Amino acid sequence: MTLTPIREGVTGPMVVPAMPSARRIRGRFAVLRLVASGVVVAIMADSTATTLAIPVLSRDPLAAALPLAEVTWVSTVNFAAVAALLATAGRFADLLGRRSVLALGLALYGLGATTVIAAPSWTLLLAGRVAQGVGAALMFPASLALLLGELPANRRAGAIALWSASSGIGALALQGGGGWLLTEYGWRGLFLPGAGLAAALLMLTPALPRNRGTRRGVPDLLGAALLIGAIAAAVLAISQGSLWGWTSARTLACAGAAGLLFGGAIATSWRHPLGAIDMNLWRRPGFLWAGGASCLYGAASFVVLAMGPLYLRASSFDTATIGLWLTPISIAMIVSSPLATPVGRRIGLNGVVYSGALMLGTGCALMLAQPHPNAWCLLGAVLLGTGFGFLSTGTFTVGSMAADPSQYASAVGAINTARMLGGAIGVAGASVLIDHPVLAGPMPGFSTVMVACLAVAVLLGVSALGRVASASGNRPRRPSLREAEAELVLLRGLLAELRDSFVQVRSEAEHELARFGVRDPAAFRALDQR
């Protein structure tokens, strides 16, 4: 028997699209996970490479005539580009298509890394670092949003955990192999892994599912420009304030420009249907808290990762040894990030954030109790890495799950922007504390910084614990016997109405069949089955 679609003006057999095989679905998910994880590995490897390259770069003829404050612009321009573009890149990925934005980001990142490796001048080197930052900002939210958009709801938390663990893999790879790359190829060799990985991932993008985006008009380009300028100005004011002077004209000008530009971005986003800032996203329950928690997590993690090498260098360790001492943090983060998902099923995501803050605070306290690096510091490093893994997975999961599927890239971009702004504020504050310590002792500046990180961990833990208690207090109470009986009566009535509806549909169907000469539907079905 041939079925024909009951649609006006359509004749012919109904074509049912073939369902993809289970093997094909698994293969598509494997490629998605590989690309999303590879993006984070590349970005974190580049961040670690920059930290290792700056001391060596300052002795290179390319930058030998520059003061160390100017050499650090290799990191500053990249950080500013990433932070400024993340939120806008995530928004545009949702509107224009995530795979396209990811491919563009990978191409720019790879081109920037290649420029850094071959740069004959300081200007081209900085241009390459800016291109890397723009590429990283484009591919970071788009990669995770692609993965979350294709996975079923019950597997998204695990995907975020794998994605978070990949950041530890990128850092670990450069911490372990950075010394060898420096010895064999100099500081330029530190950027080889990022360039090669970007090229490999770019070749895999055609195999990713195509996402056409949700655009229904022209995006808010003016708001996007204002938002990018606001975040870039804020990052410059925060990161360079200690060098320029917190009350200098440049610092105050950047801070004032950031405030004015951000106000303009909000104003245009309120009026524009496709605003650069998704205002509906920030009104969703839990998202604002996830952004604040991510900001505090960034403030603590960036300080530890930035000040750790300086602390070890002050203890007379060479570059290779410093990388080995930082390795336990990366390993602990790799292991703990996937563990956060099953823990979250038992105690909730707020409980995961609280546990991460508790381990972070314990690690800071243990580091604070040691006057010099020793075996106890290794245990403290493990606790710090475990706390980072829990906090990274917890904050990203809370923020992503609070968003609608059409907002995944915007959510990832906004949450990570909050983390990077928190990191910039944390590092700037730590620089001030290093120069003006509150405590006394062998290394008073670093001790003061660790106390500040401990305070941030306590604040984050208390806020998470408050949400855990609030969620426990809002659990629905068990209904009384009378309420249960009333619900049962209502359910019976609804089922009775549903039964009557089916009876009516059956009667109308038999009437229509009779018009086609079918008097006995049961006999007709038996005949058709033969």
Tell me: the pLDDT tens digits for 460-469? Answer: 999 998 888 8
In this structure, what are the phi and psi dihedrals at residue 216, rounded to the nearest 5 degrees? -130, 50
| Residue 65 Rama label (left phi>0; alpha psi -120 to 50; beta) | alpha
**CATH code of domain 278-474:** 1.20.1250.20
pLDDT bin (cut points 50, 70, 90) of residue 484 is low
Q: How far, in Å, are 17, 135, 303, 360, 435 from residue 429 at the CA level?
A: 59, 28, 9, 19, 10
pLDDT bin (cut points 50, 70, 90) of residue 519 is low
CB count within 10 Å of CB 499 equals 10
| Cβ contact 141:90 at 8 Å | yes
pLDDT bin (cut points 50, 70, 90) of residue 355 is very high
Q: How far, in Å, are 138, 168, 422 from residue 171 at the CA level?
A: 20, 5, 20
| 41-92 pLDDT, tens digit each | 888 888 888 877 877 887 777 777 777 667 777 888 888 888 888 888 888 8
Contacts 24+ apart (CB under 8 A), 362-369: 362/387, 363/387, 364/300, 364/450, 364/451, 364/453, 364/454, 364/457, 365/454, 367/450, 368/447, 368/450, 368/451, 368/454
Query: Which has the higher per-residue pLDDT, 268 or 439?
Result: 268
| 252-302 pLDDT, tens digit each | 998 899 899 889 888 888 887 777 777 787 778 788 888 899 999 988 888
Mean pLDDT of 410-429: 84
Residue among 39, 294, 57 nearest 182 (CA): 57
Contacts of 335 (CB under 8 A, 6+ apart): 165, 386, 389
Mean pLDDT of 401-415: 82
Mean pLDDT of 21-50: 78
pLDDT at 323 over 80: no
| Cβ contact 454:368 at 8 Å | yes
As a whole number of angstroms, the distance between CA 91 and CA 213 comes to 10
Residue range 23-208 forms a domain whose CATH class is: mainly alpha
| Cβ contact 308:450 at 8 Å | no
CB count within 10 Å of CB 154 equals 7
Tokens of residue 432, six digits: 């001030």
Query: Which has the higher per-residue pLDDT, 445 or 225?
Result: 225
| Cβ contact 435:271 at 8 Å | no
Contacts of 52 (CB under 8 A, 6+ apart): 174, 178, 182, 187, 190, 319, 323
| 372-399 pLDDT, tens digit each | 777 778 888 889 989 998 998 888 888 8
Query: Which has the higher per-residue pLDDT, 212 or 87?
Result: 87
pLDDT at 457 over 70: yes
As a whole number of angstroms, the distance between CA 422 and CA 470 comes to 26
Angle between helices 73-96 and 122-150 (to 10 degrees): 40
As a whole number of angstroms, the distance between CA 27 and CA 207 comes to 10
Lowest mean pLDDT among 9-18, 182-191, 219-228, 491-500: 9-18
Q: Please tell me the predicted confidence (pLDDT) of residue 269.
A: 82
| Cβ contact 131:105 at 8 Å | no
pLDDT at 515 over 70: no
pLDDT above 90 as % of the chain: 12
Q: Please tell me the predicted confidence (pLDDT) of residue 333.
A: 84
Q: Please tell me the predicted confidence (pLDDT) of residue 473.
A: 57
Residues in the chain: 530
Taken in order 520, 522, 526, 529, the sign of the CA dihedral is positive
Mean pLDDT of 113-131: 91
| Cβ contact 38:202 at 8 Å | no
pLDDT bin (cut points 50, 70, 90) of residue 7 is very low
3 state SS for 470-514? HHHHCCCCCCCHHHHHHHHHHHHHHHHHHHHHHHHHHHHHHHHHH
Average pLDDT value for the chain: 78
pLDDT at 19 over 50: no
As a whole number of angstroms, the distance between CA 57 and CA 52 comes to 9
Tokens 């609280």 sit on residue: 354
As a whole number of angstroms, the distance between CA 346 and CA 339 comes to 12
pLDDT bin (cut points 50, 70, 90) of residue 513 is low
Mean pLDDT of 431-441: 77
As a whole number of angstroms, the distance between CA 302 and CA 98 comes to 28
Query: Which has the higher per-residue pLDDT, 147 or 362?
Result: 362
Tokens of residue 207, six digits: 């195999």
pLDDT bin (cut points 50, 70, 90) of residue 172 is confident
Furthest CA-CA distance within the chain: 99
Where are any strands of DSSP class E within 320-383?
A: none
As a whole number of angstroms, the distance between CA 366 and CA 385 comes to 13
Residue among 184, 178, 177 nearest 51 (CA): 178
Q: Please tell me the predicted confidence (pLDDT) of residue 102.
A: 92
pLDDT bin (cut points 50, 70, 90) of residue 444 is confident
CB count within 10 Å of CB 217 equals 9
Mean pLDDT of 352-379: 84
Q: How far, in Å, are 321, 397, 425 from residue 313 at the CA level?
A: 9, 36, 23
pLDDT bin (cut points 50, 70, 90) of residue 12 is very low
pLDDT at 527 over 50: no
pLDDT at 104 over 90: yes
